[in-house]
Amino acid sequence: MLLNFDRLGWWKYILLAITLLTAAFLLLPIVFIAALSFGSSQWLIFPPPGWTFQWYSELFADPRWLESAWTSFKIAVIVTILSVLLGLVTSFGLVRGSFLFRDALKALFLTPMILPVVVLAVALYAFFLRIGLGGTLAGFVISHLVLALPFSILSISSALEGFDKSIEDAAVLCGASPLEAKIRVTLPAISHGLFSAAVFSFLTSWDEVVVAIFMSSPTLQTLPVKVWATLRQDLTPVVAAASTLLILLTILLMALVAVVRKVLKQ
C-alpha cells in the first residue's frame, strides 16, 4: 500500500507537498537568474524597478566575454572528437579483448570520475608548469580530456556490450572485411552510445571550472573561468546575462538529446 499512490491516504499529500516544494527549490535559482538578467537594477534587487537589455548588450560589447566563449567552444569540440575516438578504440579493446588485468584497467580508466577534481587540477598544474603547457590550448584539451574520457569509455563500452557480435561476424561471412563490418554494421548499432559519449564529453569540457582555473592564463581563459573571475570581484548582472545564455544552451542541448534519442530508437 505504501507503493500505491492512490492508497496512501493523507500521506499522499505530505509526499506531494515535499516533492513540489523540492521541485520549486530546484527551479528557483534558474528562473531567478533569468529574471534578474533583464532587471534594470545594478544591485540585483528583486523584483527589479524596471526591465532592460542593458546587461546583454554589455556582455556582447565586451570582446573578452565573446573570446572566452569561443575558447570554451573550441576546446570542447576538440575534446569531444578526441574523447569519442579514443573512447571507441579503448572500448573495443576492453569489451572484445581478453588480456590480463582487463577489469583492473577498466577501473583505472574510470578513476578520474571519482577523484576530487581539485587534486587532478593541482597535479596537472604542476606538471604543465614544468613542461610549458600551462595556459595553452593543448594544456586545456589534455586536462579536459582526462575528465571526459571516462564518460566516453563508459557510454561506448555499455553500448558495445549490448551489441550482439555475431551480427558483425555474419557481415564478415557475407564478404565484408572486418573493418568494413565494424564501420557499416557495428558503429551504426552503437550510435546511441557514441552520441551519449559526445554529449557528456562536450558538457564535461564546456562546464569545467576547477582545472580551467589552474590552466588559464591572462590571454587564454574559458567562459567558466571568466565567470569565476568576474564573480570574485562583484555580482554584476552581466554574469546573470551570461548565466541565462548558459541555461538556454542547456535547455537546447537537453531538447536535442531527447530528439536524437527518439530518432535513434526508431
Partner 1 sequence: MSTFSDASGAIAPLPKARRATGFGGVLPALAFVAIFFIAPVAVLLLRSVLEPVPGLGNYAQLIGSATYLKIFANTFIVSGLVTVISLLIGFPVAWALAIMPGRLTSVIFAILLLSMWTNLLARTYAWMVLLQRTGLINKMLIGMGLIDKPLALVNNLTGVTIGMTYIMLPFIILPLYGVIRKIDPSTLQAAALCGANRWQCLTRVLLPLAMPGMAAGALMVFVMSLGYFVTPSLLGGTANMMLAELIAQFVQSLVNWGMGGAAALVLLVVTLSLYAVQLRFVGNQNPGGR
Shortest CB 93 distance to partner 1, Å: 3
- Residue of 52, 58, 67, 125 that binds partner 1 (CB under 8 A): 125
Give, as one character, the DSSP assignment of residue 39: B
* Window contacting partner 1 (CB under 8 A); options: 54-62, 63-71, 83-91, 182-190: 83-91
- Residue of 49, 50, 63, 116 that binds partner 1 (CB under 8 A): 116
- Residue of 61, 66, 108, 183 that binds partner 1 (CB under 8 A): 108
Q: Does 179 bind partner 1 (CB under 8 A)?
A: no
Q: Which phi and psi angles does 39 have, rounded to 5°?
A: -80, 145
Number of residues in contact with partner 1, rule: CB under 8 A? 97
Give, as one character, the DSSP assignment of residue 5: G
- Residue of 74, 93, 135, 137 that binds partner 1 (CB under 8 A): 93
Encoded one letter per residue, x for contact with partner 1 by CB under 8 A and - for no contact, window 24-63 reads: -xxxxxx-xx--x------xxxx-----------------
Determine the Cα–Cα distance for residues 92 and 163; give it in Å rounded to an integer: 12
* Window contacting partner 1 (CB under 8 A); options: 51-59, 73-81, 121-129, 188-196: 121-129
* Window contacting partner 1 (CB under 8 A); options: 52-60, 62-70, 182-190, 202-210: 202-210
Largest CA distance in the chain: 73
Is there a contact between 149 and 158 (Cβ–Cβ < 8 Å)? Answer: no
Determine the Cα–Cα distance for residues 205 and 208; give it in Å rounded to an integer: 5
Q: Does 69 bind partner 1 (CB under 8 A)?
A: no
Sign of CA pseudo-dihedral 238, 241, 243, 246: negative
Secondary structure (3-state) at 32: helix
Q: CB burial class (10 A; 0-12, 13-18, 19+) of residue 26?
A: exposed
Determine the Cα–Cα distance for residues 44 and 240; give it in Å rounded to an integer: 9
Question: Which residues 217-236 are close enough to bind partner 1 by CB under 8 A?
Answer: 224, 227-228, 231, 235
Question: Which residues 147-176 are close enough to bind partner 1 by CB under 8 A?
Answer: 149, 151, 153-154, 164-166, 169, 172
Shortest CB 243 distance to partner 1, Å: 4
Determine the Cα–Cα distance for residues 193 and 109; give it in Å rounded to an integer: 17
Shortest CB 79 distance to partner 1, Å: 13
Cα end-to-end distance, the chain, whole Å: 37
> CB-wise, 191 or 236, nearer to partner 1?
236
